[in-house]
């Protein structure tokens, strides 16, 4: 059995974040150093409480929750209550958090990265990149000690889900995305081009629920809620879990390099990834995925 990867999960739970976190907690392949929370799908109090609720469900109050940015660096946020509900988890009942959250995600990440061996901790980014931008701005040496930075965000050849080209995590905080993607870290982007292909259908959901276990059952409830908020779609895209699946089994994804820059204007496509501009930065992006293999790995890890 390969040694567990040490990871920090930066997150705005959020239904798909919650599935990703439960997978990371139950698959036995990650040593979760902590959950840092950010405002995104819903406000910081709710994302922070939800992180604590997921840990309480899995009996992992030993994992610290560290509250981070309550707003993007320079803009107002874009919440997604329509999808995730006012409680951020589609009304799925979870236990109350068993420990109080810490404050100051960027400073906490800097401390942990400085104390650990260089490049021994990966950061799995599931929400707007505000906390990680603060880490790069305020603690650049510590940021340079990150192992892999794996980001769910952006759209390359795929339409956006906020503007015509912009994806939610990058559209929430375009300035943060620009800072992080230009920081020279070992970054891989997991964009809508692949996450929209990893979809939970009704049959997969029934098999997941039948597999038993607390993580699988709760994920089935969370995905049912995800279905309910989407007006009867046939399947739902599992965006954030793709970050964990790539971290564990990169061979499921085909990675290309694209010269990208982030649209920093005020229009509908703020946060969109633009290619072929003079100021572009070369970035590894996942553009194809073995979706069936990804769904198998996800279901296996939740059992
Ligand atoms: O665009 C998908 C991303 O936006 C996911 O991280 C989802 O949780 C929402 O935050
Ligand atoms: Ca998210």
262 and 181 Cβ atoms separated by less than 8 Å: yes
Average pLDDT of the segment spanning 189-198? 98
Q: Report the pLDDT value the prediction gives residue 188, as an integer from 0 to 100.
A: 98
Q: What Å distances lie between residue 213 and 52, 93, 203, 245, CA to CA?
A: 20, 16, 18, 20
Average pLDDT of the segment spanning 33-42? 97
Centre a 10 Å sphere on the Cβ of residue 154 and count the other Cβ atoms it contains. Answer: 29
pLDDT at 198 over 80: yes
Ligand index nearest the alpha carbon of residue 236 = 1
Q: Report the pLDDT value the prediction gives residue 81, as an integer from 0 to 100.
A: 87
pLDDT at 195 over 90: yes
Q: Report the pLDDT value the prediction gives residue 1, as an integer from 0 to 100.
A: 53
How, if at all, do strands 102-103 and 65-67 pair? parallel
Ligand index nearest the alpha carbon of residue 160 = 1
Q: pTM of the entire structure?
A: 0.98
Q: Report the pLDDT value the prediction gives residue 77, as an integer from 0 to 100.
A: 86
Chain mean pLDDT for the chain? 96
User: String of b and e for 189-200 (b: at least 16 CB within 10 Å)?
Assistant: bbbbbbbbbbbb
**CA 278 to ligand 2 centroid distance, Å:** 30
Per-residue pLDDT reduced to its tens digit, 117-167: 999 999 999 999 999 999 999 999 999 999 999 999 999 999 999 999 999
pLDDT band at residue 71 under the 50/70/90 scheme: very high
Nearest CA among 183, 170, 293, 186 for reference residue 242? 293
**CA 170 to ligand 1 centroid distance, Å:** 9
**CA 66 to ligand 1 centroid distance, Å:** 20
Angle made by CA atoms 287, 289, 291, in degrees to the nearest 5: 145
Query: Which CATH class name applies to 5-302?
Result: alpha beta
Nearest CA among 100, 149, 155, 105 for reference residue 130? 105
Q: Report the pLDDT value the prediction gives residue 32, as an integer from 0 to 100.
A: 98
Share of the chain above pLDDT 70, in %: 99
Average pLDDT of the segment spanning 40-68? 97
74 and 114 Cβ atoms separated by less than 8 Å: no
Specify the long-range contacts of residues 268-271, CB closer than 8 Å, at least 24 apart: 268/162, 268/163, 268/164, 268/166, 269/160, 269/163, 269/164, 269/165, 269/166, 270/75, 270/163, 270/166, 270/171, 270/174, 271/162, 271/163, 271/166, 271/167, 271/170, 271/171, 271/172, 271/173, 271/174, 271/177
The pair of three-digit structure tokens given for residue 117, joined into one six-digit string? 């061996």
Per-residue pLDDT reduced to its tens digit, 201-214: 999 999 999 999 99
Nearest CA among 83, 72, 7 for reference residue 40? 72
Q: Report the pLDDT value the prediction gives residue 3, as an integer from 0 to 100.
A: 77
281 and 260 Cβ atoms separated by less than 8 Å: yes
pLDDT band at residue 233 under the 50/70/90 scheme: confident
Mutate to test the pocket of ligand 1, among 169, 172, 223 (most ligand atoms within 8 A of CB): 169
Q: Report the pLDDT value the prediction gives residue 2, as an integer from 0 to 100.
A: 66
Q: Report the pLDDT value the prediction gives residue 226, as an integer from 0 to 100.
A: 93
- The backbone torsions φ and ψ at residue 60, rounded to the nearest 5 degrees and listed phi first, read -120, 50
| 3-state class (DSSP) for residue 14 | coil
24 and 30 Cβ atoms separated by less than 8 Å: yes
Tell me if residue 84 is catalytic: no
The domain locations on the chain are 5-302
CA distance 138 to 107: 8
The pair of three-digit structure tokens given for residue 9, joined into one six-digit string? 């999960």
Per-residue pLDDT reduced to its tens digit, 8-27: 999 999 999 999 999 999 99
Q: Report the pLDDT value the prediction gives residue 80, as an integer from 0 to 100.
A: 82
Residue nearest to atom 4 of ligand 1 (CA): 168
CA distance 168 to 171: 5
pLDDT band at residue 247 under the 50/70/90 scheme: very high
pLDDT band at residue 236 under the 50/70/90 scheme: very high
Q: Report the pLDDT value the prediction gives residue 59, as an integer from 0 to 100.
A: 98
């Amino acid at each position: 059995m390969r040694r567990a990867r040490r990871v920090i999960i930066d997150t705005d739970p959020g239904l798909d974040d919650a599935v990703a976190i439960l997978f990371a907690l139950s698959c036995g392949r990650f040593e979760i150093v902590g959950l840092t929370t950010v405002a995104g799908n819903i406000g910081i109090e709710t994302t922070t409480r939800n992180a604590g609720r997921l840990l309480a469900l899995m009996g992992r109050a030993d994992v610290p929750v560290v509250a981070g940015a309550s707003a993007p660096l320079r803009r107002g946020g874009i919440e997604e209550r329509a999808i995730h509900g006012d409680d951020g988890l589609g009304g799925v009942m979870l236990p109350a958090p068993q420990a109080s959250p810490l404050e100051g995600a960027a400073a906490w990440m800097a401390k942990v990265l400085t104390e650990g061996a260089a490049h021994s901790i990966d950061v799995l980014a599931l929400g707007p990149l505000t906390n990680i931008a603060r880490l790069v701005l305020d603690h650049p040496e510590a940021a340079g000690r990150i192992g892999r930075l794996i980001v769910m965000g952006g759209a390359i050849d795929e339409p956006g889900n906020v503007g015509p080209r912009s994806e939610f995590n990058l559209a929430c905080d375009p300035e943060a995305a620009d800072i992080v993607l230009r920081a020279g870290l070992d970054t891989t982007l997991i964009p809508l081009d692949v996450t929209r292909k990893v979809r939970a259908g009704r049959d997969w959901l029934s098999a997941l629920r039948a597999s038993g276990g607390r993580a699988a059952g709760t994920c089935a409830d969370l995905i049912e809620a995800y279905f309910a908020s989407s007006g009867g779609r046939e399947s739902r895209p599992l965006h954030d879990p793709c970050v964990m699946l790539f971290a564990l089994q990169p061979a499921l994804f085909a990675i290309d390099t694209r010269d990208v820059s982030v649209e920093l204007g005020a229009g509908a496509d703020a946060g969109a990834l633009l290619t072929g501009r003079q100021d572009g930065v070369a970035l590894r992006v996942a553009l194809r995925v073995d979706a069936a293999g990804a769904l198998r790995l996800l279901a296996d890890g939740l059992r």
